[in-house]
Structure 1
Amino acid sequence: MPLPRFDRLPAERREHILGVARRHFAEHGAEGASYNKIIEAAGVSKTAAYHYFDGREDLLTAVLDGVLVRLLDALGPWEPASDEEDFAARFAAGSAALAAHLGGHPEDLALADTAIGRTADGPWLDWFGALVADGRRLGLVRTDVDASLMVAATAAVVRAADAWALARMATGTDPGDTPGQLWALLRGLWGAAPTGQEPRHAL
């Protein structure tokens, strides 16, 4: 996380530095971007930079945390569904909103899988926790598997499908029927297979 002095900068200045860093990490990769080139492009001296961040990894973490916040904002909170059809519709709506955000924000698109992959717990898994709990309430998700394992497995399946689709989107390749394939994978994982309408436009 940024050091306290960074948080005391004006919001516009903080966003400028993080925006420059995000562009560099998106273009050169989380492991390939140069810390010195980032701070130079942001107009920050080396001395000042080490008052703001402990180093490159600290800056990368701040950037990826921002990406994750925007992904969750696009998804929106999981709201309890009224029935099976509503459950599928809510999942589709969240996935469509996420896909739309990524389609319009190429830097977030480039860093999305890295941001998700660095999250062992926290808000990202909380979203899937709410999803699985709601699915169990409706009888759509099996209950013979530990809840935390089911949440982790569901998040992993979605991440795998997202990474596949994101890689294709990044190269301009049509990801095809990702929604149908993802829904089929989740139905198999959950066991108590939903029979309602499959989501459309999911990532």
Structure 2
Amino acid sequence: MPLPRFDRLPVERQELILGVARRHFAEHGSEAASYNKIIEAAGISKTAAYHYFDGREDLLTAVLGGVLGRLLRALGPWVPARDEAEFWSRLEAGAGALVAHLHTHPDDLALADAALGQADDGPWRDWFAALVTDGQRLGVIRTDVDHGLLVTVTAAVVRAADSWALARMRTGAAPPAAPATTSPIAAAEQEESAQQLWSLLRSMWSAPGAAGRDGKDRADAR
């Protein structure tokens, strides 16, 4: 994370430096972007840069932390649901909010996978812990498996699904159009991706022999 001297910079200056770095990492990749070119584009000397960050990886960590923070804000905190139907509705709404954010923030889209990859602990895991706790309270999620294990596995499944969906968005399999202008084909692809994720979660969350009870499997309804 940034060194204390960086935190003492005016907020506008901090945002400018991190914004320039984010664009470079998004354009050239988190592994290939040049530290020297980033600090040159940000208008800071190499000496000053090392007063702000320990090096390239430290700067990358700060950038990815910002991406993760924006993803979490788009997702919103998990609010306990009144019933099972609202539980699934909230989950779908959160997923939709993330997609909407990524549609309109291409730098975050390019770096989302890397940001999620360093989010094993902290607020991201806390969000899944709240989700699992609420699901167990409502009877949506099994209680015969350790809570911590369910949180870990749920986060891993969603992480894998996110990586798959993000790759499709970046390669154009699901065109990153704004939600209001999404084509019928893109909307159908996004719906298919979401249904596959819900199916995975239902299978994992259901106790042995229990039928999925989310009431939202529209593919079966059709």
Q: TM-score, normalised by structure 1?
A: 0.95
Does the residue aligned with 1:97 lie in a helix, a strand or coil? helix
- Equivalent residues, number: 200
* 1:181 aligned partner, one-letter code: Q
CA contact (8 A) 1:3 1:51 kept: yes
Q: Take 2:163 and 2:156, find their aligned partners in 1: how far apart are those partners? A: 10
Q: 1:198 to 1:13 in 2, by over 3 A?
A: farther
Which structure's relative contact order is higher, taking Cα pairs within 8 Å and 6+ residues apart?
Answer: 1
Is the counterpart of residue 17 in structure 1 residue 25 in structure 2? no
| 1:102-128 deviation per Cα after TM superposition (whole angstroms, max 9, x unaligned) | 111011011111111112210001000
Per the alignment, residue 80 of structure 1 pairs with 80
Structure 2 counterpart SS, 1:47: helix
Per mean C-alpha deviation after superposition, the further-off stretch among 189-198 and 90-99 is 189-198
Contact kept in structure 2, 1:183 and 1:199, CA below 8 Å: no
Q: Which residue of 1 aligns with 2:173?
A: 173
Tell me which residue corresponds to 1:89: 89
Give, in whole Å, the separation in 2 of the partners of 1:136 and 1:158. Answer: 18
Unpaired runs of at least 5, structure 1: none
Match of 1:194 in 2: 213
How do 1:1-203 and structure 2 match up within 5 A?
Answer: 1-174=1-174, 176=189, 177-192=192-207, 193-198=212-217
- The 1:195/1:4 distance shift into structure 2, 3 A limit, reads closer
Note if contact 2:140-2:214 (Cα within 8 Å) is conserved in structure 1.
no
AA in 2 matched with 1:84: E
| CA–CA distance in structure 1, aligned partners of residues 29 and 17 of structure 2 | 17
Give the Å deviation of 1:171.
Answer: 1.4
**Aligned residues: CA RMSD:** 1.4
Describe the SS at the equivalent of 1:30.
coil
Q: Where in structure 1 do 4 or more consecutive aligned residues deviate above 2 Å?
A: 192-195
User: Normalising to structure 2: TM-score of the pair?
Assistant: 0.87
Q: Would you say the 8 A contact 2:67–2:111 is kept in 1?
A: yes
Structure 2, unaligned runs of 5 or more: 175-185
